[in-house]
Structure 1
Amino acid sequence: MNEDKILLNSVPMDEIENAIENIKRTESSRINATPDNAHEGLTQLVMTIIELLRKLIEKQAIRRVEAGSLTEEEIERLGETLMKLEMKMEELKEIFNLTDEDLNINLGPLGNLM
């Protein structure tokens, strides 16, 4: 019993405060689906997956451009497509009242998704 008190007293207060802040951030970034708002949680999850895929496609496109494996026309089309995808995502986030932070789901011990 006394060992617990010794361990607690040996932890600096700023580490405790940081841990509390991390818990608060984690709780606010999780999908909280209930029977009443299940559609909102599903929308958030689907939008998160789409945004993750969009970012992965963008990174792959940048790698291909840097590697020189695309023609000028392909680079132009790719750039235009990526811009349109980003604009559409911004439009959808506005429609569903979501922010970038809402799409950055906390994966527990793995940290935030993006």
Structure 2
Amino acid sequence: MQQVSQTNGRSRINFDSDNPEDGLAQLVLTVIELVRQIVERHAMRRVEGGTLTDQQVEDLGVALMNLEEKMEELKEIFGLDAEDLNIDLGPLGSLM
């Protein structure tokens, strides 16, 4: 099982020598979640800016919901939760 240590409420990725794929899965899902959040923020700015048609807004909403659903499935598969993806970058602080 994957080990996630907590430091001041923030998690760090621990690569277990017996099961390094767990730490790698956590790292990959963290990067995907970061990109998903950036895309979502950009999409919301475009929606609020009124540059999209109603159909584009609808399609974008469906795509973002599907992506969030898939992330939830992947977190469940790998036994992770939202806090596990908010890794500690040391002096830089939390990722998200």
Same-fold status (TM-score > 0.5): yes
Match of 1:66 among 48, 55, 63: 48
Kindly tell me the number of residue pairs found equivalent between the two proteins: 91
Does the CA contact (< 8 Å) of 2:10 and 2:94 recur in 1?
no
Query: Identity over aligned residues, as a percent?
Result: 59
Per the normalisation by structure 1, the TM-score is 0.75
Per-residue CA deviation, residues 41-93 of structure 1 (Å, 9 max, x unaligned), is 00000000000010000000001011111000000000000000001101110
Match of 2:60 among 57, 72, 78: 78
Q: 1:42 to 1:73 in 2, by over 3 A?
A: same
Higher strand proportion, which one?
2
Give the CA RMSD over aligned residues. 1.5
Q: Which runs of 4+ in 1 moved over 3 A?
A: none
Does the CA contact (< 8 Å) of 1:26 and 1:108 recur in 2?
no
Higher helix proportion, which one?
1
Cα displacement (A) at 1:25: 2.1
In structure 1, the gaps of 5 or more residues are 1-23
Whether 1:112 and 2:75 are equivalent positions in the alignment is no
Match of 1:99 in 2: 81
- What is the rounded CA distance, in whole Å, between the counterparts of 1:27 and 1:68 in structure 2? 39
In structure 2, the gaps of 5 or more residues are 1-5
Does the CA contact (< 8 Å) of 2:10 and 2:87 recur in 1?
no
Cα displacement (A) at 1:35: 1.8
